[in-house]
Chains A and B, each alone.
Chain A
């Protein structure tokens, strides 16, 4: 393993600090934590998680640094990034 492969950056997920691998998508970072509840479907009230992985289904939308409706599969993690899923209660 190269030294960089062990590197981690700190982001905040639903208010809690989490160490994630740099260079990954926000979706990968959340899935690696075992998180699949990215958003709540407003019609059924049930959890939804990423489906297409390429930006067309919109099931992976989260709030990033207070910007709502960011597709987690297209967005890269950055040091200090604040990610809020439906579980934070802020994303409606």
Chain B
């Protein structure tokens, strides 16, 4: 084991940063440079998070490093003296609501106590169930992106579907690996009259980038369907075909394609369970329906020593994640008397505001998840597995939601076991929330300890920590 992964059982630091993506790396760097003792924990094999996800050096040698700036940032973080604990999963918080409970790569329990906690846990992809989504070969666009970056050709014929700007680069990544992408299906109408129209608009650089992906797809003859969603994946033990229908007219079949790979995702959802366990106040984002921590512009939560940065604070892309990480670090330094340059903080605030403007502009092009997800969930055929972990059908969830007390998401979970399986409702959560009747009661899936199923050793060592909904 490298120095990165050997850890004693109880650790203390000035600041504990959870998540080594762009946001966590930026925060850790700024804090360590100012002389703070910083611990950076991440469950992946190497720092980088999703955007700078780094396969092993052998892979980078063989298939190329498409984000070398990520490697440089990680090197600077190490050089600044940050203690990097890779392969460490933070799964809970002790009763003091301050001590983090983690598991080492070998499964041993690790306790971390710090003056400040920076949650930089990123986002995961928003899934909406459909018949057949549990078949092997049906994956999220992010999986397709990561495996393509590792040099894997995931299939021979693929359809990429869902909503959001991420679908286009993912389709391009698949093409680069020799996968024949037969269609991209976007639920909204962002590219009206056609994908090429993006290029004609005077949009900032990121949209120009999107236009270049659209152009590459056009060159490869990839059809981009708009107002189109996956109605069903077909297959016995693997995905074999997909039926696409109009979003605005579910009876209308757009196409049926034979495929051995189907990538479906509806953008990103903040992974904010850790701040919830730490007692941070949260709100429901009206546009996305996601539960997001209530924060100051510099990422400080309602619990003064807890900061939330990056996508965990709301999906907004890697440049925003970097800026949020730095802004939180400067705020921590200011509150600890190590007054950083005020001009620096002002410039960062202006930069963050302009990035937020761009995020709003992009979001406005695509359907709001808070409307899209319920529309899709409502039309699910009864036998569809809504909860893929516990195999709970749409009919069962609807029946529980219609029963007395069914307007309460925890009651629906308890009654059906939907959302109680391995993924802890991370995949079915949006659909579960959409399928409940509405009205009074808790409308959101609660955060629950443990955040990840635990290696047995860690459970036994901390056996007296009870499961608890927050």
Q: Are B125's CB and A49's CB within 8 A?
A: no
Residues on A with beta carbons closer than 8 Å to the beta carbon of B58:
4-5, 7, 21-23
Proximity bits, B396-440, A CB within 8 Å = 1, else 0 = 000000000000000000000000001100110000000000000
Instruction: Judge whether B447 is part of the interface by a CB distance below 8 angstroms.
Output: no
Q: Are B124's CB and A49's CB within 8 A?
A: no
Identify which of B56, B124, B138, B238 contacts A56 (C-beta below 8 A).
B124
List residues of B (136-153) whose CB comes within 8 Å of A's CBs: 136-140, 142-147, 150-153
Q: Are B143's CB and A53's CB within 8 A?
A: yes
Instruction: Judge whether A90 is part of the interface by a CB distance below 8 angstroms.
Output: no
Identify which of B138, B146, B390, B455 contacts A69 (C-beta below 8 A).
B455
Q: Are B136's CB and A48's CB within 8 A?
A: yes
Query: Complex Cα distance A86/B347, Å?
Result: 54
List residues of A (1-45) whose CB comes within 8 Å of B's CBs: 1-2, 4-5, 7, 21-25, 27-28, 31-32, 36-38, 41, 43-44
Instruction: Judge whether B62 is part of the interface by a CB distance below 8 angstroms.
Output: yes
State how many residues of chain A have any CB contact under 8 Å with chain B. 41
Instruction: Judge whether A66 is part of the interface by a CB distance below 8 angstroms.
Output: no
Identify which of A37, A55, A56 contacts B136 (C-beta below 8 A).
A37
Query: Complex Cα distance A62/B262, Å?
Result: 22
Q: Are B61's CB and A52's CB within 8 A?
A: no
Instruction: Judge whether B317 is part of the interface by a CB distance below 8 angstroms.
Output: no
Instruction: Judge whether B182 is part of the interface by a CB distance below 8 angstroms.
Output: no
List residues of B (85-131) whose CB comes within 8 Å of A's CBs: 87, 107, 124-125
The number of chain B residues touching the other chain, given as a range, is 35 or more
Query: Complex Cα distance A49/B152, Å?
Result: 15
Q: Are B391's CB and A43's CB within 8 A?
A: yes
The answer to whether A74 and B139 touch (CB under 8 A), given A24-B56, A57-B423, is: no
Identify which of A25, A46, A52 contacts B134 (C-beta below 8 A).
A46
Query: Complex Cα distance A37/B136, Å?
Result: 7
Q: Are A51's CB and B152's CB within 8 A?
A: no
Q: A53-B142, A73-B146 are in contact. List 15 more A-B contacts (CB 8 A).
A: A1-B62, A4-B62, A5-B63, A21-B62, A23-B55, A24-B151, A46-B237, A47-B136, A52-B140, A53-B144, A54-B146, A56-B271, A56-B427, A57-B427, A74-B43
A contact residues vs B (CB 8 Å cutoff): 1-2, 4-5, 7, 21-25, 27-28, 31-32, 36-38, 41, 43-44, 46-59, 61, 67, 69, 73-76
